[in-house]
Chains A and B, each alone.
Chain A
């Protein structure tokens, strides 16, 4: 009985040591209104989706006429999660626009944290986008 209790305590301590969660505060009535985008999701890694969830996608156009996309992510676990993401851009004909900066970018998100990632279209011909996520080591 004592051994079981000890094991449980050690387990709880180990879990507490690994978890780092984030508290946050913001203004209750935000002034800025996000232009949310109706999105289509293809989820093949349900494990990643359970940990790091896409909350929403919004977009705007920069002063220079380039499409800017922002994605809100939320870590639903209590531990740090690492992943890679990369943006793909498409023109009005649905053709992918070549981008020298298309490499996957590393990102990390703390436990229970909400975070934004964003990308700016490589040129003004880009009208659509796709973002890919992959769990990192």
Chain B
């Protein structure tokens, strides 16, 4: 009888313990305190962090302010993925592009084929050729470096971005952000 009571109490306490640990599905914000940090991959908050740093550096440099007729026209070029994982580079270029447009310092060329077609038609109907060529191109590279020592693993993701002047061919600004993450074998599950 006594054993049964102890077992029942254990069962109740165990259930209560696991119920306390369970988390119902809920919405989260990027970069909040609950964020998941993965050592072997780029997390969503890393893109936000890299984009934030790039925009701050670019706006502080004043490189976009040097065009003769602001805002500068920017062509978002290729971001080379030198990591071992599949990356949606629009997650960083999209943020940078929007932030620069919101700042009033730059507009980006449209990548929408329908827009290009309509622009050509408009030029033809008006007998004009009003397209302004981009002042700058924005290109970049994402590099992954992995270090291991015993059970400890460290991944460093380097986001390099460059602003190139289309008239001179010079690179007029370069930004770099390193994001490092470290964990032990037991903590990161491999």
Contact = CB atoms under 8 A, between A and B. Distances in A.
Indicate, yes or no, whether A interacts with B. Answer: yes
Given A84-B31, A100-B102, A119 B56 contact: yes
A118 B31 contact: no
Contact of A120 (B32, B33, B60): B60
B60 A104 contact: no
B64 interface: yes
Contacts of B30: 103-104
A64 B33 contact: no
A101 B95 CA distance: 7
Contact-residue bracket for chain B? 20 to 34
A106 B60 CA distance: 21
Interface in B1-43: 29-33
Interface string A73-107: 00000000000101000000000001111011110
B45 A106 contact: yes
Nearest to B51: A101
A53 interface: no
Interface string A105-136: 11000000000001110111000000000111
A66 interface: yes
